[in-house]
Each structure stands twice: as C-alpha cells, then as structure tokens.
Amino acid sequence: MKVVVAMLLFAAAASCSGGQQKNAGNDALVTVAVKAKLAAVDVDSTDAVGVSVANGTVTLTGKAHSQRERQEYVAAARSADGVTGVDDRLAIDPNERGVREQSADVALAGKVSAAIAGQAGINVFHTKVTAHDGAVTIDGTVPSSSVARTIVDTARGVNGVKSVVSRLAVYP
C-alpha cells in the first residue's frame, strides 16, 4: 500500500513543472506552520478551523467562538512564515464546542455516575448521565420515586453541576 501511495505521489510530482513542485512544497510547509500557530492560540482550532494554502495565500474556513477569537486566528495565520495573504472565511458561532468543552462534559458525567454508584443500593446500569456546560441530564428507570430523588439529590451535590434534569421513569 505504501509503495502504491509513493508511486502516485511521484507520478503527480513528475507531471508538475519545477515551479509547481516548489509552490506545492512551500504551500505544504506554510499549511503546517499556520496550523501550529492556530493550535498555539487555541487547541480547539485543530478541529474547528480548516486551513488551505495556494501560492502562499491562506484560506481559513470553519468556526470561531467569537469575533476576538476569529481575529486571533487571522493574526496567527498572517504571522506564519511564507504567508502572503489570508482569506478569512470563518463564521462566528458562540455555540461551537471544542475538545476541551466536550472533555469537561464527559468528565462531569463520569463524576456524577460515580457519585450515584456510590449510593448504597443504587444500580447505575439502568441510568444514563449526560452533561453539557454543567447541565446534567439523567435518563433511565428506577424502582421507586425515593430512589429517583436520591439520584437527583446526589447529582446536585457533585462539584461542577449547575442544574439537573431528571428523565427517570419509575417502574413497579
């Protein structure tokens, strides 16, 4: 497989003029430099921002959380070696969630699940906990309303929980 890829790359390079090969190589280096600069601004940019380069002109696509973040991304791209211009096509989306926010949500859901499991006699296998910016939702079935109350009260007591939505159903 590696041999086939190498042959295709060689064939593509051989069909390009010397100038085209040089530009393609420079553009690849500029792309790496811009992505590194963006990651230094915000690690979430690796998923949220697309970078393409043609003859030194960088095109940024994707989303930024705010106008300030958008400006930081553009400034970072301009500061990379080899950049001759930046075409900013970033959209602002304050609801854009990056890796850090998603990781924090997963960690909080895990803490809540562990706290619930720590309650004597509560089986967490029939519940599912999700979190989004501190808002915890608990789905599942429980044997009584007192168990449901205990689960909700336990979730509310976990550090980082801002609110709890219970979608617990009581089965006889």
> What confidence category does residue 153 fall into, taking pLDDT thresholds of 50, 70 and 90?
very high
Question: pLDDT tens across 23-37, in order?
Answer: 556 888 999 999 999
* 2-21: pLDDT as tens digits: 443 344 344 444 444 444 44
Instruction: Indicate the DSSP class of residue 9.
Output: H
pLDDT digits (tens, 9 = 90+) for 70-123: 999 999 999 999 999 999 999 999 887 777 778 889 999 999 999 998 885 677
Residue 171, class by beta-carbon neighbours within 10 Å (0-12 exposed, 13-18 middle, 19+ buried)? exposed
Which pTM was predicted?
Answer: 0.54
48 vs 44: which has the higher pLDDT: 48
